[in-house]
Amino acid sequence: MPLPVGLALRPVTQRRPVTARYPPQVFDSMLRECFSGKNKTLRSLLLKPSAVRRAVFRASPGGQQGRRATSSSRSGVDEEEAAAMRSRLDRCLEQTGLHDARPNAMPLESFLELYGASTEQGIVWGPGGA
């Protein structure tokens, strides 16, 4: 029996679960950071001063309890630490080729690639994650 016009069959491919390699809470923290602006590129979202300071707080010993995060210049973040974190974030974007990508137009695989590259750079996105 012929199929009706406009009906297409697509093969179903089973995806392997990603929760084992990517803890859900940590991955969610990264996604929240990526979608924190309206329709901005990842570069402008992740390299803005407030995002860099949050990354420094998460990476510091004791995590967010070790320092108090504020949006002022008295946030306790050393300029050298901020510059180093900014460089790591920039390398991560460069490695994945996502500098000019907009999160609302990215497939899931790109976010997974970004997460993997960022963990290689030692960037901490959320509680209990690397």
pLDDT of 49: 86
DSSP states of 12-76: --PPPP-TTTS-HHHHHHHHHHHTSSSS--HHHHHSSHHHHHHHHHHHSTTGGGTS---SSTTSS
pLDDT confidence bin for 103, thresholds 50/70/90: very high
Residue 130 or 52, more confident: 52
Residue 74 has pLDDT above 70, yes or no: no
Average pLDDT over residues 11-23: 63
H or E stretch covering 104: none
The Cα-based distances of 6 to 2, 9, 12, 13, 67 in angstroms read 12, 10, 18, 22, 59
